[in-house]
Structures are given as structure tokens and as C-alpha cells.
Structure 1
Amino acid sequence: MASRHRSRERALQMIFQWEASGDEPEQVVASYWNGLATEIGQPAPAEDQFANSLLHGVARRAKSLDDLIRKHASNWKLERMAAVDRNILRLAVFEMQQGDTAPVVAINEALELGRRFSGEKSARFLNGVLDAIRKTLERQSANAVE
């Protein structure tokens, strides 16, 4: 079984491919795993169900994720963000909303992805946006309990 971090890397790559191609998530999943098999010169490792589920969740909720990101990325238009940053934000916000991953873990993973795929400045940007979203989600959750 793949580590959660590796799964998030794979999910990010698939989300990036999904956005760039406009293909349905199932097509992206098949293409990604077939491409990985070709790249490593042997049958692909067992498909990573966590990575696949992250892609499907982000694709299914892209509009609401984008709306939340727009609201918290002050002075940034979603369309003008670097594609990798935009997709890291989508992935992290989806995980925070799902509730299966602690928000601090989702944010830390997003920062690691940002450093690896985009750079240190990106990580600072991601941290600011994601922390603002985390606070909003916590307030909404607290209000729902009351």
C-alpha cells in the first residue's frame, strides 16, 4: 500500500492532468496508471485507491472548492494562479472538508507538495490561503454544533 504522502503526490498529478486535458476522471485514472507502467518499464503498481478517490472527489466538487478558494485568496484570481498551486489548494481543501484528515495534516501535506512541485514562495502562499480556509471551516463547524 502506498503511503498517504505518495498518494497525494499521485492525486495531484492526476488532478493536474484532469484540469489540463478536460477528460473525465476515469479516463485520467486509466491514462495515469498506464503511463506510469510505461515510464517504469513494467506493470504499474497496484492502483492507489486513495489517490484515485482524491481525484474523483476534487473533480466532483471542483466548483464549490474553487468558490471557497476564490473567497480566501485575496488579491488573486483563481485563473491567474499557477496551475500546480491551484490544484494543491483544491486537493487540500477537499481533504479538510471531508473530515477524514485533520486540517493541520492536510495543510502540512499541501505545503510539502508546494515546496516539491512549485517552490518556497508557493508554500507561503498556500499556507496563508489554507489557514484562512481552515479558520472558516472551523467556525462553520462550531456554528453547526450550536
Structure 2
Amino acid sequence: MNRHQAREKALQALFQIDMTKTSAEEAIEAVLEDKSPHSLLVELVNGVVQQQEAIDEFITKHLENWSLSRLARIDRNILRIAAYEMRFLDDIPVNVSIDEAIELAKTFGDDQSSRFVNGVLSKLKSGLEK
């Protein structure tokens, strides 16, 4: 499993948690299908769950005319993964986090998801630089 696949699985696990309120461990196990977990997958799921309040606040500050609860679940969780990477994982360049999030949005979101995710994450990046 490479890092991109780990992000895909993390998104699937976080989506499941968002829908069913299952535990992080159960969600990770469900998406792995008896494969061994990539360390990034575990880091992203556990990190987003543990830091969700701070991440959601960070995202909310940069949403215009939207509330976090109104976002599509898939977009919300893509933003959470990218925001977690941007704020808490120093070994991943911010632009890589943004690019990966856009790719996830193209794969899993609707027609407008990638543009929306790009716009929000660009604002988050600007917020980090201040």
C-alpha cells in the first residue's frame, strides 16, 4: 500500500466513522480487508479523530457561506485529512497535502468537489502562513 492508497483507505474509514460513529480501530479494520495497515493510514484516522475539534474549527474559519455540517460527508472528510496533514504532519509538504486532497475529491466526490476542496485548502494554507 502506497501513501496515496493509505489516504484513500483513511478517507473510507473516516467516512464510515462519520456515518456510523464506529471506533477508529473498527473502521480501519473494515477498510483493510485483511491487509496490513500502512502507518500513514493509522496516523491519519487516529489523528483526525483525536484532533477533530481543532481541525473542524480550523476548517470552519476558512469556509465562506458554508457550515461544516452542510458539507457533503466525503468533502468534509477530505478536508479533515488535508487539514490534519497541514497542521500536524511536518514531514508532508502542504502542497502535497492539497494535491492529494484534490485527487481524492476527483475520485470520490461529485463534479464540484475538487474545485471546492482546492479553494478551501488554499485558504487554509494562507491561514497557516500568517
TM-score normalised per structure 1: 0.84
Report sequence identity in percent: 37
Matching residue's letter, 1:97: R
Q: Please give the secondary structure, in 2, of the residue aligned with 1:58.
A: helix
Larger-Rg structure? 1
CA distance in 2 between counterparts of 1:48 and 1:60 reads 18
Number of aligned positions between the proteins: 129
1:75 and 2:65 aligned = yes
Distance, in Å, in 2 between the alignment partners of 1:105 and 1:120 is 22
Deviation track 1:7-43 (CA, whole Å, cap 9, x = no partner) reads 100110011111111122122223333xx2xxxxxxx
Are 1:18 and 2:17 an aligned pair? Answer: yes
Runs of 4+ with deviation above 3 angstroms? none
Shift of 1:119: 3.1
Asked whether 1:113 is paired with 2:104, we answer yes
Name 1:60's counterpart in structure 2: 50
Q: Residue 142 of structure 1 corresponds to which residue in structure 2?
A: none
Structure 2 residue 127 is the aligned partner of structure 1 residue 128: no
3-state SS of the aligned residue for 2:64?
Answer: coil
State the Cα deviation string for residues 46-92 of structure 1 (Å, max 9, x = none).
22221111000000010111111111011011111000000000000
The residue type paired with residue 123 of structure 1 is S
Tell me the TM-score normalised to structure 2 length. 0.94
In the alignment, the residues of structure 2 paired with residue 5 and residue 31 of structure 1 have an alpha-carbon distance, to the nearest angstrom, of 18
Letter matched to residue 126 of structure 2: K
Structure 1: segments with no counterpart, 5+ residues: 37-43, 140-146
Q: Quick one: distance in 1 between partners of 2:23 and 2:58?
A: 23
The CA RMSD over aligned residues, in Å, is 1.1
